[in-house]
Structure 1
Amino acid sequence: SVCVAYGDPHHKTFDGTAHDFQGTCRYTLTKDLGTGADFNVEVQEVPLPWLTSASVVREVYLEAYGHRIAIRQQKIEISENGEEIRSLPFSLADGRIQVQLSGLFVHIQTDLGVEVFYDGNHYAKVEVPSNYQNRVGGLCGNFNGNPDDDFTTPDGTVVSDVNSFGRSWLTSVATCPGGIVGPVGEPPSCPDDIRATAESAERCGLLKKPDGPFAACHGTVDPERFFDNCVFDMCARNGDVVGLCEDFETYADACVEAGVHSFFWRDHSLCRK
């Protein structure tokens, strides 16, 4: 199953629950709660520089086989000794951990079947095989097939408040700026004119446009949640289109993962590469 965290940040758990926990510290994204404690994935979330009421994933960590790998924006480190990985592919633990580039992502594969992806910007993804069902915890939920109890804290309590849930998976107060435990709070309400622009067919509305570049995917992956997240992000950025292509890319990635490949969204004038 797949869990993602992207944008300001939007999370989708292994069981499909969407939440927008706006933390500003380091949190457990997912970890093995079994006796072997096979793996642990953490994310460092930081406030957006232009909007203190939203945050973004800036670092991703994987612990497995006694190694700790940190993927940062500009570099990849083996954290237990501070050694920087300067060329990829790279392997650790007698080949049981493989680090490579996969498209825009740094991709860590383990022989546990656990895979971690990070684009060095805002998008983190974890894939966990079915043998870890009902034995993981973190911001990605408990992977038991029931989305209704995804907000489970480390002590096994199910809570309804996303902030209580998110804070419960804080790794250390020392990872919080100024020692202040987030979250940073709800973004301000979105002015009508900015919302209208964000929802237009030239902006986030392109995701839902019936004859748009993503139309071939609509029947496979519902664009509604991605559209809502895109509008949320544009509102959080006060209408700035910075990040718009990242939202498009996130939907495109979900489409490709679902087996839909025949669309050309990068023809959008803002997203040509």
Structure 2
Amino acid sequence: MTTPNDFSYHNHSYFTDKYFIYHETSAPKTTCIFGEESYNEGETVPLLCYHIICTSGIWVHTGMVNNRCRKARVYWDPHVKTFDNKHYNYHKPCNFSLVQPGLIQTPKYGVYAQFAECIGLGTCIEKIVFKDNNNTVITISVRNKEELTVFLNGKEFPVSSDTPSFMVQDGVQHPVLAWSQTGSNSRLLFAGSSNLVLEVSKNHVFLWLHPSLTDHYGLCGTSNGVQDDEFTTRSGNVVNSLTSFADSWMTDTQTSPECLTSQRFKRNIILNETGLCTLGNDTLLDLEAICRQKVPVVQHSGQVVEAAEVNALMEACTFDLCLLYSNTGGNMTAIEEYIDTVIADVVVRIIEIEADLIDVESLTTIAPPNTTIARGRPKRRRTYLKIEQKVYL
């Protein structure tokens, strides 16, 4: 059975007309290509959550995200926020499906995560696999935590551009836009013809789904606006057991020997019930106070943060510091470094994203000069922003 760890790659030339566009068949300067569709000047991709605009024949990312899209994230050691805003922790060094269409083991596309042991007995993201189609499989390795390494169909691939660019390998252009954003929280962004979009850094992966994309499942939930069925297993049953839910989304082949021998459970770290965090309440309160330095209370830098979001971040931060404290013998230097890098990275990015949400449907749209809308194509918004004011984050 083929798994996200070992995809087979078909003959690219056979799929050229349907899946790929070669440089020799480039469209006119004012037309942009995405997947199997062409877009005119000013048009956007309807179901893509990143707000990108066809501008003079290239895709320009405004830095904005469609606020109608649902966002999930996996971050730190690892903690999960589902598409419908359910928070939980699960620590098992195995390979899981984060999001995919349907319930089967071999979907047409999907995003997968390999977790590995770190910070003592905790787990962290080791690898992210983004399968956009049977011929485009992107692997992002975050194991060393120093820099991200990207592989396209098993070959290392440099993502160096800060503008959305199609991934080209061996003369073949794959239907995935990739670009990087550097700074204090450097990250890679991907937008595929499957309409999945994701952002990956050393400390997190964010995923977005348009609400029109239904019947998606995995560790990140159902993305249907209903929180009660977030724990839908691969068999289609809704369960209360976190272990039953999460384990059902393991892929059918596990390469990590740690996976077969691990026994991990959900923990309530504040009440200090059974689990990996066994510190006393006084120490936990001290660690919680340290977390409060980086996690906003209700408002930060002008952006309002929901109470549920703050509570989830505080619990996740305190849990991570608990593991780090236990694993380093209470080394406060290590804790301060973790707070200033790993914790701060995700918190800052969450706040930035809230500031970059935009109601795409409410934007004023006009017809660009000297262009017409082709008949019979899906309706697309032609969006004109003052993009010279803000093109990139």
Q: TM-score range by the shorter chain?
A: 0.7 to 0.9
CA displacement at 1:169 relative to structure 2: 0.6
Of 207, 213, 222, 1:132 maps to 213
Contact 1:17–1:147 (Cα < 8 Å) also in 2: yes
Of 230, 235, 246, 1:155 maps to 235
Per-residue displacement from partner, 1:225-249 (whole Å, max 9, x unpaired)? 2112111111121253353232233
Of 115, 126, 149, 1:58 maps to 126
Letter in 2 for 1:85: F
Secondary structure of the 2:112 match is strand
Q: Give the structure 2 partner of residue 91 of structure 1.
A: 167
The RMSD of aligned alpha carbons is 2.7
In 2, the alpha carbon distance for the partners of 1:151 and 1:199 equals 28
Contact 2:159–2:178 (Cα < 8 Å) also in 1: no
CA displacement at 1:149 relative to structure 2: 1.3
Secondary structure of the 1:258 match is helix
Letter in 2 for 1:161: S
Per-residue displacement from partner, 1:166-197 (whole Å, max 9, x unpaired)? 11111135333245154534313222343132
Per-residue displacement from partner, 1:26-50 (whole Å, max 9, x unpaired)? 10000112999442100010111x4
Residue 78 in structure 1 maps to residue 159 in structure 2: no
Distance 1:116 1:183, change over 3 A: farther
Residue 42 in structure 1 maps to residue 126 in structure 2: no
Q: Give the structure 1 partner of residue 350 of structure 2.
A: 254
Of 195, 201, 205, 2:284 maps to 195
Residue 233 in structure 1 maps to residue 320 in structure 2: yes
In 1, the alpha carbon distance for the partners of 2:77 and 2:280 equals 18
Q: Give the structure 2 partner of residue 270 of structure 1.
A: none
Per-residue displacement from partner, 1:213-272 (whole Å, max 9, x unpaired)? 93633x3433222112111111121253353232233222222211189xxxxxxxxxxx
Q: Which has the larger displacement, 180-189 or 138-147? A: 180-189
Distance 1:87 1:247, change over 3 A: closer
Aligned residues: 251
Secondary structure of the 1:51 match is coil
- Structure 2: stretches of 5+ with no match in the other structure: 1-69, 143-147, 266-274, 358-393
Distance 1:178 1:51, change over 3 A: closer
Q: Which has the larger displacement, 25-34 or 87-96? A: 87-96
Residue 9 in structure 1 maps to residue 78 in structure 2: yes
In 2, the alpha carbon distance for the partners of 1:179 and 1:45 equals 9
Of 309, 315, 338, 1:243 maps to 338
Per-residue displacement from partner, 1:16-68 (whole Å, max 9, x unpaired)? 000101120110000112999442100010111x421x211111001112211
Q: Give the structure 2 partner of residue 265 of structure 1.
A: none
Of 217, 237, 246, 1:166 maps to 246
Give the percent of matched residue pairs that are identical in Structure 1 and Structure 2: 18
